[in-house]
Structure 1
Amino acid sequence: MINDLKLDKLSVIGRAAEAYAIGDLSEVKQRAERLYLGKRFPFVISREYPYPLHLFSPRLSAMLEGVASYPDAQKIWELITARENIIKMISVTEIKRTAAEILGPLFQNKYSDNKDRVMPRKQMIGYMIKIVMECFGFTTSRGRMQIDTTRGPDDSARRANYFKSATRYAKMTIDERDVLLEQIGNADVKRHFLAITDLILAGRTEYQKIYNIHGLTNWDSL
């Protein structure tokens, strides 16, 4: 499996590094305050990086704030970012399956009778999964994987899954991170990118401590 090691394939880490480097944080601060007024911010990297990492994606922010265009966005985001679901996505990724595959039956049950805006909803879910996986140090791999919904060689019935194919992910290695690092020209951006990815890859961000995904055996959640 070959990771797609281009900086512009990242959705939040590169943008966060650039924003912290130039001190342009007012927009993400305002997004966080609108979405989490009076609440503890989720997906905070550290005291030095105090704003939600996922909100450095303008696209995801628009989904979470755009009630008219994305009426289910916040509920879907809460579902995807539930601890047990993140553990499931990481666990299946480690055996070279797709993160969306393990959540597919859940969304099939939730939306099987709802034929409205099926493709936009699938795209939204896929993008949200991408953000979560990136926050935990995973990058996209080239090509999509077909999701096998057959029950067995002698059974023509099919398991219900909301997705027919999905993006594959793989854990970013230090060497792969360094390949991305070399694509950054600005020294300050590079410094912040290094600091942020060091924390993520070591599992030492504030949100990773809260999620504590290795606090139980991953397979216990499947």
Structure 2
Amino acid sequence: MPEVNISGPAGRIEARYHHEKTPNAPVALILHPHPQFGGTMNNQVVYHLYYAFQRRGFSVLRFNFRGVGRSEGLFDNGPGELADAATALDWLQTYNPDASTCWIAGVSFGAWIAMQLLMRRPEIEGFISVAPPANLYDFTFLAPCPSSGLMINGANDRVVPTESVRTLVEKLKTQKGIVIDHAVVEEANHFFEGRMDALMESVDEYLDKRLGAAPEAKKA
């Protein structure tokens, strides 16, 4: 899991990257929670998502938004972070020009940024959106959502209530040809403290459905 530094619009972007040597390996980009509330690329949900894709043969990149860790710049409340994510995806694709597919995943604030990037990059074929803050940010730009994916939240999340996510999902389900799955992790809060295994069980189940089982799951 080598550290990489990417030249971003606000300066250096600190990142961690796993390169899959298999020809045409797919790629995935993981975005972390809100920078002003302790969100970093080392967030436990981000970390587990990173390895979920790695186990399935993806080249995977996670990074710190501007102003977080050793990433340069200042928090920009959305536009700058979207520019960072676009730059990170450009970097990932430059090193994997023949990638068979492209996925994106985000956690909370990172899920909002991820979905905006999804709208701008038609090559993104799937997404995992963990605790998407549908009650805090405007998601109406998803009109229509161009790719199928999973939205998942905790049943005891006081930051992002289940009803707000369910309402967003129901709106997106009306779009032709796109399937948005919604899962709720029982007894989980916004950070999935003590419920990480349950979260990843749902994520793995979805990825297995879309991509096939991870190698270790096939051996079990």
* TM-score in terms of structure 2 length: 0.30
Larger RCO, structure (CA 8 Å, separation 6 or more): 1
Q: Larger helix proportion, structure 1 or 2?
A: 1
Q: Larger strand proportion, structure 1 or 2?
A: 2
* TM-score in terms of structure 1 length: 0.29
Larger Rg over CA atoms: 1
